[in-house]
């Protein structure tokens, strides 16, 4: 964990400690953090790993070598 991450953790837990006596504020904080976490998870799920990308490229190269492709005019790519 970097120094910046440690500082952010300290700030986060300090803020939580400040509102810990108020159930309503704690519920709001939990809802907000869950929303942020779900957005990050959705973003992470949309990111392709390097291994996945390499597999797609490898398969594409095999298809081209075997002649298994259809040529497309460059202008058709933007239609």
Percentage of residues of the chain with pLDDT beyond 70: 100
Take residue 28 and report the two structure tokens written for it.
């709001």
Q: Determine which helix (DSSP H) or strand (DSSP E) holds 20, and give its type and residue range.
A: none
The residue-averaged pLDDT of 46-63 equals 89
pLDDT 10s digits, 10-47:
999 999 999 999 999 999 999 999 999 998 888 878 78
- The span from the CA of 23 to the CA of 40, in Å, is 26
The pTM score is 0.53
Q: What is the DSSP letter of 47?
A: S
Neighbours of 19 (CB within 10 A): 13
């Amino acid at each position: 964990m970097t120094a910046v991450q440690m500082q952010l953790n300290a700030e986060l837990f300090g803020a939580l400690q400040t509102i810990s006596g108020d159930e309503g504020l704690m519920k709001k904080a939990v809802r907000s953090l869950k929303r942020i976490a779900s957005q990050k998870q959705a973003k992470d799920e949309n990111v392709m790993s390097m291994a996945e990308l390499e597999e797609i490229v490898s398969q594409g190269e095999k298809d081209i070598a075997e002649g298994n492709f259809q040529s497309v005019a460059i202008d058709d790519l933007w239609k």
